[in-house]
Amino acid sequence: MNVLFFKIATLLYLLATLGYLVYIINLKIAFSRWATILVIGGFGTHTLAFFLRYVEAGYPPVTNLYESLSFFAWMIVGVLLVSQLRYHVKVLGAFLTPIALILMLFALALPKEILPLAPVLRSFWHPFHVFFAFLGNASFSLAFCCGILYLVQEHRLKTKKVGALTQRLPSLKTLDDLNYQSLTVGFPLLTLGIITGAIWAEYAWGRYWDWDPKETWSLITWFLYAALLHQRLTVGWRGRKAAIMAIVGFGAILFTFLGVNLVLPGLHTYSTWRQ
């Protein structure tokens, strides 16, 4: 049942992505409106899928790669919807929805059975660790999108090629503000994710920090964002520099989340292909 809802949500995200694509090409507001409605519908279905799986499994379903990809996508769409409440930047949906869609399609290819929970995951802290980490990652995805849009818009303003695209893209200020806001939300969440992860590690393996590849890479990511925030607050690393850093940071996140799982062996291997 939960997988069915998961598939419906994927379909809705797919349709929404198509809607946004058409919107970007012909710039008719109606398409972005429909796409937004589809995203909301997808999010609702996705939420249902999550809780159904929670009930069926009896534990928070964030324990294997399928579940965590789905959870990540869910958080991204959630962050997108929240950001739409504050900033009416329609074009963001056109970038975040496809990211969520790709994660969903990836998850679709993975085994989806509910298995008995591995003893090491049977912890009070584990769900918190996952929740904080992925909500943080979702915020950083938003920062990443804003970064890309900022670079496009800035390039056009600098080269003085302002056409229809420039008119439809948000202003530099809005993009920079959103970038900063998502950093200020994402950074504490990432920090909490690492801390709760360490506490859980203490219960599971008897030590807080083990320098396994995932831990190392999260720390690298954390330092990247810490550096960006610091530079921003002290010497005014706004605009272009902040945009580039948000993009680099997101690359580090993707590597920490997927690359490490696939390439480097370590303690987090339960979240790879194998069960």
Residues forming the site for other proteins (CB under 8 A): 153, 157-158, 160, 162-164, 166-167, 169-174, 235-241
User: Cα–Cα distance between 118 and 252 in angstroms, integer?
Assistant: 28
CB-nearer residue toward other proteins: 103 or 169: 169
The residue among 7 and 240 lying less far from other proteins, judged by its C-beta, is 240
**Nearer of residues 58 and 236 to other proteins, judged by Cβ:** 236
Task: Specify the residue, 159 or 274, whose C-beta has the smaller distance to other proteins.
Answer: 159
For residue 47, how far is the Cα from the chain centroid?
16
Q: Supply φ then ψ for residue 111, to 5 degrees.
A: -60, 140
What sign for the dihedral angle of Cα 245, 178, 235, 192?
Answer: negative
Distance in Å, CB of 150 to other proteins, minimum: 11
Closest separation in Å from C-beta 151 to other proteins: 12
Q: Give the nearer residue to other proteins in terms of CB position, either 113 or 234.
A: 234
Short-list 168, 190, 213, 241, CA closest to 20: 168
For the CB of residue 76, give the shortest distance to other proteins in the complex, in Å.
25
For residues 26 and 116, which CB has a smaller minimum distance to other proteins in the complex?
26
CB under 8 Å to 51, separation ≥6 — which residues? none
In angstroms, give the least distance from the CB of 159 to other proteins: 10
| Residue placing its CB nearer to other proteins in the complex, 76 or 242 | 242
Taking CA atoms, 67 is separated from 63, 104, 115, 177, 229, in Å, by 6, 10, 12, 32, 31
- Tell the burial category of 111 from Cβ atoms under 10 Å away from its Cβ (0-12, 13-18, 19+): exposed
Judged by beta carbon, residue 175 or residue 252, the one nearer other proteins is 175
Q: What does the alpha-carbon distance between residue 51 and residue 70 come to, in Å, rounded to a whole number?
A: 12
CA 265 to CA 241: how far, in whole Å? 33
In whole angstroms, how close is the CB of 196 to other proteins at the nearest point?
A: 34
Closest distance of CB 164 from other proteins, Å: 8
N-terminal to C-terminal alpha carbon distance within the chain: 21
Cβ of residue 154: shortest distance to other proteins, in angstroms? 9
Q: Quote the least distance from Cβ 173 to other proteins, whole Å.
A: 4
